[in-house]
Amino acid sequence: MLSRVVRPVAAGLGRSFSSTSQSNARVAVLGASGGIGQPLSLLLKNSPLVSELSLYDIAHTPGVAADLGHIETRAKVTGFMGAEQLPDALKGCELVVIPAGVPRKPGMTRDDLFTTNASIVADLTEACARHCPEAMICVIANPVNSTIPITSEIFKKHGVYNPNKIFGVSTLDVVRANTFIAELKGLDPARVSVPVIGGHAGKTIIPLISQCNPKVDIPQDKLQALTGRIQEAGTEVVKAKAGAGSATLSMAYAGARFVFSLLDAMNGKEGVVECAFVRSEETESPYFATPLLLGKSGIEKNLGLGKLSAFEEKLVAEAMGELKASIKKGEDFVKSRSK
């Protein structure tokens, strides 16, 4: 009886978890032993879209792989540990997701993570550029506003840069916006869809509530409070965990949702749209999150910002300075590293 109940649930955790199509994707998780990496790997192991799961970290990966390997789904799990095993972890991968790095603690901004996480992401993406240059690269490691420019510059340095295949996973901002609006309006969150554009930190996170589907009417004072809550939702979790970490479970869910959408699109499913932080010409910022139509080769079409309200236009203008500074910080880091 149990197996009849559990298996369909595992295949249908949410809007992007409902795919029952099967594929033979080899997916790597870099940082698989961490707070995001473990639940993310569990969700990926449960998906029929994944046939091989390659787990990498600097410690504990054999144990995580052995544990997940006992789950009765078809994905074959292999653990790799330490820099010398990283090339083997990446060989043959069609998609790499990177939750590696240190989490925030109370009082820290995402930018405070830069010093540690910039080096981690640079080292890992350097290995990706060498050993799986054609793979889709999905970066969760913060600060995403800087780690995506770092990833791009590393791939350029190796002559294998394809902007359509490098994604900053900002899906958690969308998930939070959907959830908070549903709570406020008494709706089913699975049926709410709000694009979130800009970046993935504080005021650079811009929920386009005017484009919410279904349409919602929120008075200006509540709109400002709701927007502020979406922008600072990560800090809400950091404070609630009181020094024990940042958002891990909701981030794992959001990361899995994005990976499944991308795998669906790579398999030929049409009309797959997700927001992500990518190389962009939609605004004056060289990187910007917008809704993207995904396809077999990554980004098929950038769907842009759409029609913004006056309030949202103001949010975009206010975000530009911080966003461009974070991008430059990432690009400068790679330049200084290669001297």
Asked if 64 and 33 touch (Cβ cutoff 8 Å), the reply is yes
Whole-angstrom CA distances from 279 to 64, 155, 285 are 34, 13, 9
Whole-angstrom CA distances from 134 to 35, 264, 317 are 28, 17, 35
Say whether 60 is catalytic.
no
Question: Which one from 60, 70, 111, 173 is the annotated catalytic residue?
Answer: 173
Q: In residues, how long is the chain?
A: 339
What does DSSP say about strands 272-279 and 95-98: parallel, antiparallel, or unpaired? unpaired
Q: Which residues pair with 213 in a beta bridge?
A: 193
Question: Which one from 88, 200, 221, 332 is the annotated catalytic residue?
Answer: 200
Say whether 173 is catalytic.
yes
Asked if 289 and 276 touch (Cβ cutoff 8 Å), the reply is yes
**Cβ neighbour number for residue 172 with a 10 Å cutoff:** 24
Q: Give, rounded to a whole angstrom, the gap between the first and last alpha carbons of the chain.
A: 62
Q: Where are the alpha helices (DSSP H) in 70-143?
A: 86-90, 114-131
Residue type, 41: S
Q: Cα(133)–Cα(318) distance, rounded to whole angstroms?
A: 36
Asked if 177 and 227 touch (Cβ cutoff 8 Å), the reply is no
Which residues does the annotation mark as catalytic?
173, 200
